[in-house]
Structure 1
Amino acid sequence: MDTNRIKRFATEARNILKAGIAAKITTLGFDKNGNVAEENKPRLMQGGSLWNEQLQTEGFYYQWMSLYNRIQQKGISEVYEEAAYTWFNRLCAIRILQKNNLCSPVLAYADAARTPVIVDEARQGRIPQMKEELRQRLVELLNDDTKVTEQFAILVTAWCHDTPIINQCFGSIADYTELLLPNNILAEGGFVDMLNHTEFITDEDFQSPELIGWLYQFYISERKDEVFAKKGKFEADEIPAATQIFTPNWIVKYMVQNTVGRIYLDNNPYETQLQKKWQYLVEPSESPNSDTILKYNELEDLKVADLACGSGHILNECFDLLYDLYIAEGYGRGEAVENIFSHNLTGIDLDTRAKQLSQFALLLKACQKDAAFADAHCMPNVLTMPVCDSYTVKDILGHFVCAYQLDWANVDRKELEDAFDLMKNADSLGSIMRFEISQNTREHLVEAVNVYDAEPKYAEAFKNLIDGFRLILALTENYHALVMNPPYMGSGNMNSVLSKYVKDNYKAGKADLFSVFMQMGMERLVSNGKMAQINMQSWMFLSSFEKLRDIFLYNYVIDSMLHLGPRTFDELSGEVVQNTAFVLTKPRFSEYGMTTSLELASKPLEERKAIVNKLMEEVDSGEFKKNIREAKGIYYRLVDGKNCADKEQMFLANKDRNEDGNRIYYPNVAQKNFEKIPGSPIGYWVSEKFISKFEGSNLGENSIARSGFSTGNNDRYIRNWYEISKSEEKFDFPSINVYSSSKIKYVPFTAGGGYRKWYGNLYSVVNWSDTTQMHRPRTTYSQLYFHEALTWNEVTSSSFSARYYPQGLLFEHSGVSMFPNENKYYYLGLLNTPILAKYLALMNPTLHNGAEVVSKVPFIYDSRRSLYISDNVQQNITISRADWDAHETSWDFQRNELLSIDASTYMENIDYKIEKHFEETGEHICIDPAAPQLGSLEWRMEQYKTKWERKFMQLHKNEEELNRQFIDIYGLQDELTPDVPLNEITILQQGEISIE
């Protein structure tokens, strides 16, 4: 499937439709803001209406007024979007049905004049079912060949209403939408023309239910860009566009096969044919025992759901796998489909459009198995948010109970009233809503839905009520398997309703909506149930998800994980997040007196809460916690994959390492190892020897690391040092704890900078004469100011690098400073080794290297080697400082380097050449020095180059020796090498040399 072409089709179609609808609205008398002059409104007359000095039907008046009211209610832009999408999804759906031989070619052209077949057949008397008033209007229009677009609008609307699969999935077309069918819909290059002659979508694509998801993803991509461009909080109607992303198919297969598939295989261990078909199935680290297997009686009992289903991609894969299970057990095709729709599969999404497409995609799959489902007699169980803002359950529940003669005397109606009050915010909250519903009330809701489905009388009156009942039941169900790609939305983008609800109900996952879905999902599983998700990898490492990790590591089991990293999604999706896909199991609570969470749900509400509280105390302190910690999982490190397809091949290759020698496969990783690491990151790739170092001391125990001041207005307070007049005593280096603001106005400070080790990046000064004028000064750690220290960048996109700075400087928040209690040079040596980099990659693999994170790195002090290490580090500082001060941008610059070349430099260069020759050849040579040519610029240049080559290579040699010493101290010889690439030596970085 060529997604480039599909994206072009969807975005072009959206723009063509929106432009056509905008033009149509203008012809109906509306201006660009949705306003209408009084004289441009239609007037109702006996037997018709008058508009624009022309007689129209009475129906036109009511359609026009419906459009007017909708624009006043929603705004003209929203009506553009609504009408464009209505026509887009229905006409695309018709074309898909046609390509799957499920309907006649109604959109195809009957002649060279681009007359649609549906219009041509109407002219011959074959007209779809429609109301008599519409039929009469159509007959009048059919007499005028210039009114093809008007004829088409009536016919295709009626056809959609009369075709079960379209009507059941997409509902009725709003009366005013018919008015907004663009005038150019049938023109050359118009939307129907694109559908009929598209080169973007192949016949094979039309056979795939994946096409529906891609069309939706790309159709809303521009809307998504618009939402993110405005920044700030996402309103309820913006959440769907902001959070939709289409999951790569192979990752969906991994998630479904290792949840639904694994549950089936655990219950049917001798099944081999299906197991061979599931190429993304991961064999468990340990054979399951009876205590860890989710047992079920019949396939119909297996409850599977996607509670953020979007356009149904994951549901489609669940359908395929469940269908194979039914066929393998001897069910007929039709029976298998009906069972899946009626018993097994549930989808929920807060976007009504996505819900419609999800139902359509599943029905299309059903029809591909058995064409009898084209009449939509059995619909997939996909739900969206009900309308609950125009009434309360109190207003209508009594009428419903009377209409169906139900015995609801012992139902706690307060529970239902609270649930419906909560659903008034369903368009913001979606599937994360928690309903406090007792088992008794739940059983009565099941009864209510069943009697309504058996006899849906008073459908208009009770529809919203029943939709609310269905959602409550779906969100209080205990599922055997949940498979999701949840919405990604940081807390900063959550609107006030969503933000408050998340903080009140999902405190551990509040940092992002995807982590809320993680927490919610595990709560809605039966004991021993499985959940798979693909979401952002940030929950594995960041401190903001530490409480969430504690919940999962102590209460659930990680079966397997695909650590995907960057470049997971198709580049056309525009997503730049780093991802992980994983499967979790919710262990059973039987040792605490409950065999399943369903048994818990059957107890009264207050008793249930008391049991849960007691259970959690036992879980936290008892044997249950120990058993979870002993669990082992399987991990695949796919972060080096160049794109999604490359990651798939790395996974399928089933090799321990990739072609570059990087390890991919990590079996039997003990879950308890993660708790030994500060913050409990999911560091599956590091050895137990590496993790064991956390049991000793850390860098923070014998040093202080802090971020410094922040002015709140750098343009006002900060300058480069050479912009300040030192002669006027406006710039100087204060001594420790001796500072008079009356004499010195600008004080030097360290503030991060580019990638540089040992010394440098010192060029900034700050106006410190009156900090009270600063917008947001941070002077909490002022007692540390003006002391010598070590520093590094708090945020960096390159490798970690630390530097020394002398007395007399301040430090700013972007440059963290560390003040060791003992040998500072030993600390600096460690900070610039790959040991530090590897620990940071484990604890916080982001751009941020704050004081708190670095302070937690394990620290081993070897007093026997400390002097040798310190000598090397001091030499590195000397070399790096000499390089920094050799440039006029340094405040310690003395003179041009060429003028500094003397006889001493000359002799040192000769010694270097002799030593270099011996290292390269093993031969001792003698070089007789000629007289220094101090008056020759060429000679000075040659000596200058040799001098700095000597210093460069000495620095390189020292760095590798320091690496070797610390790797030996930490005992990590099998995991790290001391090698330092020449391009990581951070002197001569201003164009002096070229490193090949």
Structure 2
Amino acid sequence: MIHDISEDDFNVAVGGQVEIIGWLYQYYNSEPKDLAFKKKKYLEVDIPAVTQLFTPDWIVKYMVENSLGRYWIHVVQAKGDSRSEQQLAEYFGCKYFMPEAQQTGNVNVTSEAQQLSEVTIEDITLVDAAMGSGHILIYAFDVFMQIYEQEGYARREATNRIIQNNLYGLDIDTRAFQLAYFSLMMKGRANSRRFLTQNIRPNVYDIPETGSLTSDDFQSLLQSDSDIDQLNYVLDSFRYGNEYGSLIHFDKPIDWHVIDRIANEKLPVGQLTLDAVSLAENQHQLQEISAVGKVLSNQYSIGAMNPPYMGTGKMDAILGKYVKQQFSDSKSDLFAVFMERLRSLIVPNGYYAMITQHSWMFLSSFEKLRKKLRTNTLINMAHLGTRAFEEIGGEVVQSTAFVYQQRNNVNYIGTFERLVDFDSQQRKEKAYLAAITDPNVDYLYRTNQANFSKIPGMPIAYWASEKLVHDFETGTKMGEIVVPKQGLATANNSRFLRQWFEVNHKKINFKADSINNAVQSKKKWFPYNKGGAFRKWYGNYDYIVNWENDGDEIRHFTGNNGKVRSRPQNTGYYFQEAITWSLITSGRFSMRYRTPGSIHDVSGMSAFTRSTDRLKEILAVMNSAVGNYILNILNPTINLQIGNFTSFPILKMPTNELQVIDNCIKITKKDWDYFETSWDFQRHPFLIHIADDNLSYCRSPAS
């Protein structure tokens, strides 16, 4: 491998890959990651591999410069420097720093300036709570070094202070910790020739796990019941340290002096026994626990991280239970849990910067988290969308990088760079830098964050215009006009679903208009609305479902544990006419009219009302360009949920357009029925203009 990689890739002076260690670590993990991805649940040993993703260099610089750099720029200004943010950013070499928008008189910055005027560079601390190989810490070192030198420190002295006082990192992966430790030590040696001889240890840690360790293992060192309680609480907190990682937090105060006394107390000198050896080993483990516990107990000026991503469905029982109990507002994904955790590690007026999936900005499962974050100030966001990471293709993983301040400025005007339409990592970086140079580009937005609360669900819809925000405030919610409902979840589609042409036609009832009618027909199969591909107005009549005897077999379908697995939801709406859309939409939104006679699925989202005309009017609104635009604001992810639909604002119904709407439905129905995949198929369109007496030439001899 040494011969395969160019020497320039290691040479920073010629633009080489300074983070080469991180890349090597990521690809070292690629094989165990591929194996782990095949599992339904991740084991403790899988977590480092499946959650490790190396952060692009420009995103690291964006996060550090717009958090640490911004903090120091405000310190300099608070001390009387009259230069603007942009001038100071250029002075400190912060190429990726985005100046804030001009604020209104409603934003108070006076009290912050008074506090910052007393801050020195040695007071500022930065933590990465899931540091991986230390990429963020290494760049933060460079920024700190530049500030120290501007403050008059010699490079050797600055190196020692940065490593000892300014940087902190944590991880659950021992190998990642070793690489981060090595990188910082090499960084220290590069800036101070005597660094390796000074016995300086970087404040980066592999989070320990206590396993079966209890206070009984330290019995001879305990002086009181209070010692026992304190020690047991600490040991219990780290019981599953390799799973919880830096999510470990303490609900009650800990006297670390007590823990340190137990961990460092000199043992009696004498004959070496097994108990003495065991106690010494336990003390060493407790020393590590105490060091990490103090890091987790402290608060920091700056937080910056690329958190691990893992949905609750992939978490094992131990991690899943802990997340649900301790982080109920963000439990849907590990990255959101870390958003909440990092936020708690930051001092008032401090900053935290992250890159995460963008789903927390829109999905209803993160609404409680958005409410909690409302008490902080969203300073800047680089909304990356897809392809922010070179090694991840496709449309599924959509990312956003952002900077929050631990401060409540309700009317703060944040700056947002909408980079979702740039289709590569390099183009996104180039567009971001262009927005710094030219703030008039059409993808840069300045938005009052108070607007987010005016839209139902509080999505971070920064690109919504003032007029559209007003429409959300004054319009009638869609949920007050029609009733959206989820439908049947069979729990085994392979067993209960068929395509309509796979079964005996005589066993299908295409015309049932109620459950009673369906039961009386004695038929087994009924049309099933399962969503389907993009198609407007009409279509996607593909599937049928076994609903014989009012779905008796589905209703009693159980798992190995005897529990019913299926969920026949909202059965009172089965077989009614509806408007429907697909849960998963990879492109533009599309809605269809569904004639009476179908059962709807959980993926074939459907809305109902007694008025056919009203259904069609809503259909027209939702299939319009305006409808697609507004739904993109409510939720631009690939999963369009019922909550997003019910929040859609209606100002005026297209009451005079029913004939146009009927024509749209009629034309698309005709198109659907032109082909054999429709159960109403009559004749292929190629044969329409052939006279009947000539059709014999198109038939087989047997016909």
TM more than 0.5:
yes
* Contact 2:383/2:400 (8 A) holds in 1: yes
TM-superposed deviation, 1:785: 2.9
Segments of structure 1 that go 5 or more residues without pairing to the other structure are: 1-8, 10-194, 402-407, 453-457, 588-626, 903-932, 941-996
User: Residue in 2 aligned with 1:483?
Assistant: 304
User: Residue in 1 aligned with 2:160?
Assistant: 338
User: Residue in 2 aligned with 1:518?
Assistant: 339
Between the aligned partners of 1:754 and 1:384, the Cα distance in structure 2 is: 47
User: Residue in 1 aligned with 2:552?
Assistant: 772
* Contact 2:243/2:319 (8 A) holds in 1: yes
Deviations 1:65-92 (A, max 9, x none): xxxxxxxxxxxxxxxxxxxxxxxxxxxx
User: Residue in 1 aligned with 2:273?
Assistant: none
Between the aligned partners of 1:844 and 1:273, the Cα distance in structure 2 is: 37
Between the aligned partners of 1:705 and 1:652, the Cα distance in structure 2 is: 44
Closer/same/farther in 2, CA of residues 205 and 785 from structure 1, 3 Å limit:
same
User: Residue in 1 aligned with 2:274?
Assistant: none
Secondary structure in 2 matching 1:507:
coil
Closer/same/farther in 2, CA of residues 768 and 318 from structure 1, 3 Å limit:
same
* Contact 2:231/2:259 (8 A) holds in 1: no
One-letter amino acid of the counterpart of residue 238, structure 1: D
* Contact 1:245/1:573 (8 A) holds in 2: no
TM-superposed deviation, 1:552: 0.0
Between the aligned partners of 1:849 and 1:657, the Cα distance in structure 2 is: 34
Match of 2:403 among 564, 567, 583: 583
Determine whether 1:634 maps to 2:404.
Answer: no
One-letter amino acid of the counterpart of residue 586, structure 1: Q
User: Residue in 1 aligned with 2:647?
Assistant: 856
Match of 2:523 among 723, 740, 744: 744
* Contact 2:386/2:394 (8 A) holds in 1: no
Match of 1:692 among 455, 470, 478: 470
* Contact 1:751/1:811 (8 A) holds in 2: yes
Between the aligned partners of 2:692 and 2:46, the Cα distance in structure 1 is: 73
Between the aligned partners of 2:398 and 2:523, the Cα distance in structure 1 is: 48
Between the aligned partners of 1:779 and 1:498, the Cα distance in structure 2 is: 31
Match of 1:278 among 64, 73, 94: 94
Match of 2:139 among 317, 322, 332: 317
User: Residue in 2 aligned with 1:216?
Assistant: 25
User: Residue in 1 aligned with 2:287?
Assistant: 466
**How many residues are paired up?**
653
Between the aligned partners of 2:441 and 2:490, the Cα distance in structure 1 is: 44
* Contact 2:395/2:586 (8 A) holds in 1: no
Secondary structure in 2 matching 1:535:
strand
Segments of structure 2 that go 5 or more residues without pairing to the other structure are: 267-278, 558-564, 699-703
Match of 1:424 among 239, 243, 246: 239
Deviations 1:431-471 (A, max 9, x none): 111124537x146668899999xxxxx98663222211111
Secondary structure in 2 matching 1:629:
coil
Match of 1:703 among 482, 495, 507: 482
TM-score by length of 1: 0.61
Closer/same/farther in 2, CA of residues 291 and 811 from structure 1, 3 Å limit:
same
* Contact 1:750/1:811 (8 A) holds in 2: yes
One-letter amino acid of the counterpart of residue 738, structure 1: N
TM-superposed deviation, 1:643: 1.4
Secondary structure in 1 matching 2:488:
coil
Between the aligned partners of 1:343 and 1:574, the Cα distance in structure 2 is: 42
Closer/same/farther in 2, CA of residues 712 and 505 from structure 1, 3 Å limit:
closer
Closer/same/farther in 2, CA of residues 535 and 897 from structure 1, 3 Å limit:
closer
User: Residue in 1 aligned with 2:561?
Assistant: none
Determine whether 1:379 maps to 2:201.
Answer: yes
One-letter amino acid of the counterpart of residue 63, structure 2: M
Secondary structure in 2 matching 1:582:
strand
* Contact 2:435/2:441 (8 A) holds in 1: no
Secondary structure in 2 matching 1:666:
strand
Secondary structure in 1 matching 2:517:
coil
Match of 2:429 among 635, 641, 648: 648
Between the aligned partners of 1:397 and 1:476, the Cα distance in structure 2 is: 25
Closer/same/farther in 2, CA of residues 936 and 784 from structure 1, 3 Å limit:
same
Closer/same/farther in 2, CA of residues 261 and 734 from structure 1, 3 Å limit:
closer
Closer/same/farther in 2, CA of residues 874 and 628 from structure 1, 3 Å limit:
same
Return the index of the structure with the highest Cα Rg: 1
Between the aligned partners of 1:552 and 1:298, the Cα distance in structure 2 is: 28
One-letter amino acid of the counterpart of residue 5, structure 2: F
* Contact 1:415/1:437 (8 A) holds in 2: no
* Contact 1:253/1:317 (8 A) holds in 2: yes
* Contact 2:264/2:287 (8 A) holds in 1: no
One-letter amino acid of the counterpart of residue 768, structure 1: W
Between the aligned partners of 1:395 and 1:574, the Cα distance in structure 2 is: 52
Q: Within 5 Å, give how 1:780-859 maps onto structure 2.
A: 780-822=569-611, 823=613, 824-859=615-650
Closer/same/farther in 2, CA of residues 835 and 417 from structure 1, 3 Å limit:
same
One-letter amino acid of the counterpart of residue 680, structure 1: M
User: Residue in 2 aligned with 1:570?
Assistant: 390
* Contact 1:557/1:631 (8 A) holds in 2: yes
Q: Which moved more, 1:764-773 or 1:421-430?
A: 764-773
TM-superposed deviation, 1:644: 1.2
Between the aligned partners of 1:893 and 1:220, the Cα distance in structure 2 is: 53
Between the aligned partners of 2:188 and 2:359, the Cα distance in structure 1 is: 38
Between the aligned partners of 2:127 and 2:56, the Cα distance in structure 1 is: 18
* Contact 2:509/2:518 (8 A) holds in 1: no
Secondary structure in 1 matching 2:240:
helix
* Contact 1:234/1:494 (8 A) holds in 2: yes
User: Residue in 2 aligned with 1:874?
Assistant: 662
TM-superposed deviation, 1:367: 1.4
* Contact 1:656/1:664 (8 A) holds in 2: no
Q: Within 5 Å, give how 1:287-686 maps onto structure 2.
A: 289-293=109-113, 295=116, 296-375=118-197, 377-386=199-208, 388-389=210-211, 391-393=213-215, 395-396=217-218, 399=221, 413-436=228-251, 438=253, 441-442=255-256, 462-553=283-374, 555-571=375-391, 577-587=397-407, 628-654=409-435, 663-667=442-446, 669-686=447-464
* Greater RCO, CA 8 A, separation 6+: 2
One-letter amino acid of the counterpart of residue 630, structure 2: Y
Closer/same/farther in 2, CA of residues 820 and 360 from structure 1, 3 Å limit:
same
* Contact 1:543/1:679 (8 A) holds in 2: yes
Between the aligned partners of 2:219 and 2:387, the Cα distance in structure 1 is: 51
User: Residue in 2 aligned with 1:202?
Assistant: 7
* Contact 1:482/1:531 (8 A) holds in 2: yes
TM-superposed deviation, 1:900: 5.2
CA RMSD of aligned residues (A): 3.2
* Contact 1:843/1:853 (8 A) holds in 2: yes
User: Residue in 2 aligned with 1:71?
Assistant: none
TM-score by length of 2: 0.85
Closer/same/farther in 2, CA of residues 346 and 856 from structure 1, 3 Å limit:
same
Between the aligned partners of 1:297 and 1:730, the Cα distance in structure 2 is: 77
Between the aligned partners of 1:746 and 1:461, the Cα distance in structure 2 is: 66
Deviations 1:639-672 (A, max 9, x none): 12221111110000127999xx9832112x1111
Determine whether 1:228 maps to 2:37.
Answer: yes
Between the aligned partners of 1:490 and 1:305, the Cα distance in structure 2 is: 24
Between the aligned partners of 2:139 and 2:509, the Cα distance in structure 1 is: 68
Between the aligned partners of 1:876 and 1:394, the Cα distance in structure 2 is: 77
TM-superposed deviation, 1:852: 3.3
Between the aligned partners of 1:649 and 1:372, the Cα distance in structure 2 is: 40
User: Residue in 2 aligned with 1:891?
Assistant: 679
One-letter amino acid of the counterpart of residue 791, structure 1: T
TM-superposed deviation, 1:873: 0.5
Between the aligned partners of 2:436 and 2:693, the Cα distance in structure 1 is: 65
One-letter amino acid of the counterpart of residue 202, structure 1: E
TM-superposed deviation, 1:846: 2.2
Deviations 1:460-500 (A, max 9, x none): 66322221111111001111111111111111222222112
